[in-house]
């Protein structure tokens, strides 16, 4: 059995999750504390991949990063980098479809914080960077972790946009969802079943861990309040 789909899926999901974690927190933090004209339009654009069919997202990425796309052509002409039909294309597709989950969770986490705690730190001379790392980030961490886990699970299972942008090249762009689809297409049901079991186990384990962690921290928070 060739395990390259598993390794590639984990690689793609890990890289895309890292990217959306950083940028999701960055934009959520800014938007949670600032009001400006066009904010709702930008946030709607961020959330758009959640409601669009994956093939539509993939088509948009193909137009953007294709050989004749303005960004794809620029990358090829200046750096010799081809996005389509590569594992990098799979990463980009996973980033786009998983970003809304991370952003939504991070925005909800930051919106729920008590601004008085941050303002108190500022009056004591703390910089914005210090306020974020010592107050906002630790208090928002449960929500950020939830977004991180959901983004990882979404990136792991991405199929439609990845197929449009990265295609299916065995050993190069064959993530687990790709391996399942093309195994079924070729009548290799045992192979498809194997990968279905693997990805279901990964997704189930991820969600179970998140639920366990959430319950554990809720009990800890409740016990701390009772002890007071």
| Neighbouring residues of 145: CB distance < 8 A, sequence distance ≥ 6 | 210, 213
Place of tokens 């940028």: 23
The pTM (predicted TM-score) of the whole model is: 0.89
Q: Please check whether the domain covering 4-174 is classified as CATH 2.120.10.30.
A: no
- Measured in whole angstroms, how far is the alpha carbon of residue 174 from the centre of its chain? 19
Cα separation of 228 and 216, whole Å? Answer: 19
- Tens of pLDDT, residue by residue over 50-70, are 999 999 999 999 999 988 888
pLDDT digits (tens, 9 = 90+) for 182-206: 999 999 999 999 999 999 999 899 8
Nearest to 27 by CA among 110, 146, 84: 110
Write the DSSP string, 160-221. HHHHHHH---TTTT--HHHHHHHHHHTT-HHHHHHHHHHHHHHHHHHHHHHHHHHHHHHHHH
Is the confidence at residue 170, as pLDDT, over 60?
yes
């Amino acid at each position: 059995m060739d395990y390259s789909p598993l390794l590639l899926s984990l690689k793609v999901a890990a890289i895309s999750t890292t990217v959306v974690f950083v940028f999701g927190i960055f934009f959520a933090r800014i938007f949670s504390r600032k009001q400006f004209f066009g904010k709702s339009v930008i946030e709607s654009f961020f959330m758009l991949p959640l409601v669009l069919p994956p093939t539509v997202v993939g088509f948009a990425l193909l137009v953007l990063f294709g050989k004749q796309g303005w960004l794809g052509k620029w990358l090829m002409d200046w750096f010799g980098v081809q996005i389509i039909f590569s594992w990098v294309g799979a990463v980009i597709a996973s980033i786009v479809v998983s970003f809304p989950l991370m952003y939504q969770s991070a925005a909800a986490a930051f919106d729920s914080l008590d601004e008085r705690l941050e303002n108190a730190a500022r009056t004591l001379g703390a910089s914005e960077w210090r306020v974020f790392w010592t107050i906002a980030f630790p208090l928002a961490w449960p929500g950020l972790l939830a977004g991180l886990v959901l983004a990882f699970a979404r990136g792991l299972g991405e199929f439609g946009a990845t197929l449009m942008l990265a295609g299916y090249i065995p050993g190069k762009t064959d993530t687990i969802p790709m391996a399942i689809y093309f195994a079924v297409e070729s009548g290799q049901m045992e192979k498809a079943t194997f990968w279905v079991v693997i990805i279901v186990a990964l997704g189930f384990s991820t969600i179970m861990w998140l639920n366990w962690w959430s319950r554990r921290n809720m009990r800890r928070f409740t016990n701390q309040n009772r002890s007071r």
